[in-house]
Amino acid sequence: MPQPSIRNGLDFEAPILELEKKIEELRTFSKTTQVDLSDQIEKLIARSNEKKRAIFSKLTPWQTVMTARHPRRPLTSDYVGLMIEDFLELYGDRAFRDDPSILTGFGKLGDHRVCVVGHRKGKDTSEKLSCFFGCSHPEGYRKALLKMQLAEKFGVPIITLINTPGAYPGIGAEERGQAFVIAKNLMEMARLRVPVLCVIIGEGGSGGALGIGVGNRLLMLEHSYYSVISPEGCSAILWKNSDFKERAAEILKLTAVDLKNLGILDEIVPEPLGGAHRDPGSMARALRDALLTHLRVLEKLSGDELVRQRYEKLKGMGIFQETVAQELAASGTGRS
């Protein structure tokens, strides 16, 4: 199996990258000299795997954010290519233009016909610029909703792949109704009469994520994040600069484990050892299996049941418990 490139690593990956570099050098030397170095290589691989377990089992919230933004992390287009057969991409919002930062189309996941909607960040510099690094405009969310409504018309389940730092905040986007379009998507997705499965594959930022994020199931990859605001944005608001982004990441409770504990998530999809960027194929297979498992359950429900379940799921996110101090204050016992 081809080994991942050691370039574009994160700071906390340095010990792993150093071992991978040595492994790569030994393999090259062994191949060019015909010297058997398999024992040494196997020992280094074992050490590398130990480092991966030690580092990625204890990521801080900020390190999780950095992993979700990893330059080699699989993108929506990668998962479509690895999971979806006979994919046919669809374009346009019938109003203004096609927004390339939202990918939509139909294909097959296993034996199921599905509609796929996902954020597209772009692979090379040109594509990243045209997609605004995954920050979608109103026309992108209009395109997404049109294709989801088309899927509903033909009884096709919907899968959304979320990976955005947030919706595009420019003047033009606001003039074309950015907030209104996202709000409309929330309302219309809530009443779709087909199964809707949402997956956060990297960044799940603010309203940009919510614009395609209302579903019967919400899944997150292990090292992705989902938050009302980026840590940098939170730090800028609370501390007037971005220096406290690591502290902000902690208080935002944005990791998959945090959100599972809060009852927001339905499933955390484990990533390969060392992160999805080290083995996209394995990650895609794990995600495919998880989606098919949920899809088999949801496809047995009627349209009314799907809508009702979605409503109950969203309504349950507002449940909270009062603290003892609040209860004492309400009864007057806590007054001085």
Question: What are the DSSP calls for 279-306, one per residue?
Answer: -HHHHHHHHHHHHHHHHHHHTTS-HHHH
For residue 11, pLDDT over 50 is answered with yes
Amino acid at 208: G
Cβ atoms 272, 283 nearer than 8 A: yes
**Close Cβ partners of 111 (under 8 Å, ≥ 6 residues apart):** none
Task: Read off the pLDDT of residues 64-98 as tens digits, 9 standing for 90 and up.
Answer: 999 999 999 999 999 999 999 999 999 999 999 99
CA dist list (Å): 187 to 23, 86, 307: 52, 30, 11
Cβ atoms 72, 4 nearer than 8 A: yes
**320: number of Cβ within 10 Å:** 6
Confidence of residue 316 (pLDDT cuts 50, 70, 90): confident
Nearest to 80 by CA among 306, 284, 275, 247: 284
Say what the pLDDT of residue 4 is: 42
Q: Kindly report which listed range (26-30, 61-65, 82-86, 224-228) carries the lowest average pLDDT score.
A: 26-30
pTM: predicted TM-score of the whole model, two decimal places = 0.89
Say what the pLDDT of residue 1 is: 36
Helix axes 14-33, 38-56, angle to 10 degrees: 160
For residue 12, pLDDT over 70 is answered with yes
Nearest to 68 by CA among 209, 185, 266: 209
Q: What percent of the chain has pLDDT over 90?
A: 81
**222: number of Cβ within 10 Å:** 20
Task: Read off the pLDDT of residues 94-143 as tens digits, 9 standing for 90 and up.
Answer: 999 999 999 999 999 999 999 999 999 999 999 999 999 999 999 999 99
For residue 149, pLDDT over 50 is answered with yes
Q: Kindly report which listed range (6-10, 38-42, 197-201) carries the lowest average pLDDT score.
A: 6-10
Amino acid at 259: L
Residue 201's SS3 state is strand
Say what the pLDDT of residue 291 is: 98
Q: Kindly report which listed range (34-48, 106-120, 136-150, 237-251) carries the lowest average pLDDT score.
A: 34-48
Burial of 44 (0-12, 13-18, 19+ CB in 10 A): buried
Burial of 2 (0-12, 13-18, 19+ CB in 10 A): exposed
Q: Which secondary structure element, helix H or strand E, spans residue 219, and what is its range?
A: strand 217-221
Sign of CA dihedral 308, 314, 315, 316: positive
Say what the pLDDT of residue 240 is: 92
Say what the pLDDT of residue 2 is: 40
Task: Read off the pLDDT of residues 160-200 as tens digits, 9 standing for 90 and up.
Answer: 999 999 999 999 999 999 999 999 999 999 999 999 999 99
